[in-house]
Amino acid sequence: MDTAALKESWELVAKSGDEVPLYFYSHLFLSHPELRELFPISMTAQRDKLVGALGQIVSNVDQIDDVTPFIQQLGKDHRRFSVVADHYTAVGASLLATLRRFLGPAWTESLANDWAAAYGLIAKVMVEAAEQSGDSPAWWSADVTDVQRRTLDVTVVQLRPREEFRYAPGQSFAMEVPQRPRLWRYFSPANAPRSDGSVELHVQPVDGGQVSGAVVRSLQPGDTVRLGAPIGEQLTLPRQPDRDLLMVAGGTGLAPLRAVLEQLDRRWEVEGKAPRVQLFHGSRMAWNLYEHDYLSLLASRPWFSYTPVVSDDPSYPGSCGLVGTVAAQAQRWDGRLVMVCGSPAMVLHTVEQLTAAGVAPTDIRYEEFTGGNHHPSAAPVAAGDNQ
Ligand code: HEM
């Protein structure tokens, strides 16, 4: 298989932008109308989640050994979209038709064979993983027990999954709310697992965010939501749990880091030890520092320090500026493992500031934000919905 040709051809196709998903979905829904109901009601090429990922993953088939666990997880996760083995043939055919359409004369017989073989390999791993997922549910139903607007911008939601829902602090999961069927968006629990299994979410409406908007405006106690399997390892505690940490959060990007803080605090209460942690939490205005009381209280622990940072109000008496700049300039962070979570712009800016200040890029962890897809090169929206 000529894997370089796969990558090159996908790069060429991707240059046609929104035309590509538009053609793919038209082909798929015309040839298999029954598949339309698996996808969200409102579909625009701009919010395509499948086609971009499909081309990228299949054209990188030479890395399959490195990404097999991810592809298996993707296959298991596709059960929440009601995808079954038969559907893979239809999607594969529409993928090939799309490539053919956009590659024109560059679409040769050998390239067609290579794409078909690569798609077959990935699809096989996904289908087998889905078939072998045993007792693990395709999704978890969870009851909404409370919805409270904590500040002007931040709504706190309490959920109670009906079955045991195990996650590590720092992970994320996709959630579908009844007001927006089949639109799944990633959120992160803001708490370490509790004995009653309940999960707390912090939701900030984002421009055009259909799911976050629905959560803030219409979700109510008594509603039932669906949760996908928890994923993500960038913001979970590392194998060496004693390594000192620097945490930088923007807005509700605090959620997964707060869950890790709860986990560390429990350990401190039981074992009397925890690594040193410095958290910078940034928001535009001081009233959106929505966990100020909790974090100020936690700062009485010898292992934890907390700096609130406000960017858009120069009259704020504490630290002012962009949280990434303030964190990077506060001191040298040699040896610390850094966890960053917030909007894509905030993450990008913080990583730039920290690396410019001498922090090794390998010491900085964050979940990438590329349209909500979770992939080695595309990870979940760790704390909200950016579509
Ligand atoms: C090699 C095969 C496939 C790959 C690599 C793939 C990959 C992906 C990825 C990465 C996502 C985004 C997931 C997320 O955000 O959590 C996705 C979404 C989705 N996939 Fe697949 N997929 C494949 C096959 C299929 C098949 C056969 C179907 C059946 C029709 C399907 C239906 C969907 C649906 C309905 C979504 C959600 C779309 C949306 O929200 O707009 N996929 N896929």
Distance between Cα 54 and ligand 1 center (Å): 8
pLDDT band at residue 346 using 50, 70 and 90 as cut-offs: very high
Decide: helix, strand or coil at residue 366: coil
Assess if residue 377 is contained within a domain.
no
What separation in Å is there between the alpha carbon of 49 and the centre of ligand 1? 7
Q: Does residue 115 share a domain with residue 88?
A: yes
Query: Are residues 26 and 110 both part of a single domain?
Result: yes
154 and 122 share a domain? no
Distance 46 CA to ligand 1 centre (A): 15
pLDDT-derived band of residue 242, with 50, 70 and 90 as boundaries? confident
Does residue 184 belong to any structural domain of this protein? yes
Average pLDDT of the chain is 91
Question: Residue 184 C-alpha to ligand 1 middle, in angstroms?
Answer: 11
CATH of the domain at 28: 1.10.490.10
Q: Do 245 and 256 form a contact (C-beta atoms < 8 A)?
A: no
Tell me what the mean pLDDT of segment 232-237 comes to.
Answer: 93
Q: Which domain holds residue 195?
A: 140-227
Residue in 42, 49, 57, 87 to alter for ligand 1 test, most ligand atoms within 8 A of Cβ: 49
pLDDT, tens digit, for every residue of 39-98? 998 887 667 889 999 999 999 999 999 999 999 999 999 999 999 999 999 999 999 999
* Residues 120 and 7 reside in one and the same domain: yes
CB 374 within 8 A of CB 351: no
Substitution candidate for ligand 1 out of 50, 121, 126, 385 with most atoms within 8 A of CB: 50
Task: Report yes or no on 387 lying in a domain.
Answer: no
Q: Do 262 and 354 belong to one domain?
A: yes
Q: Is the confidence at residue 375, as pLDDT, over 70?
A: no
* Residue nearest ligand 1's atom 8 by CA: 50
Q: Whose CA is nearest to atom 31 of ligand 1?
A: 83
Q: How many CB atoms lie within 10 A of CB 121?
A: 15
Q: Pick the residue with more confidence: 270 or 134?
A: 270
pTM of model > 0.85? yes
* Pair 209, 280 in one domain: no
Domain membership of residue 237 (yes or no) is: no
Count of Cβ atoms closer than 10 Å to residue 15 Cβ: 10
Q: Is residue 174 part of a domain?
A: yes
- Same domain membership, residue 343 and residue 295: yes
Position 34 scores a pLDDT of 96
User: Parallel, antiparallel, or unpaired for β 277-283 and 245-250?
Assistant: parallel
Distance CA 348, CA 328 (A): 13
Percent of the residues in the chain that have a pLDDT greater than 70, as a whole number = 94
85 and 194 fall within a common domain? no
* pLDDT score for 376: 33
| Ligand 1 binding residues, C-beta < 6 A | 35, 38-40, 49-50, 53-54, 57, 74, 78, 81, 83, 87-88, 91, 119, 122-123, 126, 174, 184, 372-375
Q: Are 299 and 280 in contact (CB under 8 A)?
A: no
Cα-to-centroid distance, 341 and ligand 1 (Å): 25
**How many independent structural domains does the chain possess?**
3
pLDDT in tens, 245-263: 999 999 999 999 999 999 9
Residues 253, 173 share a domain: no
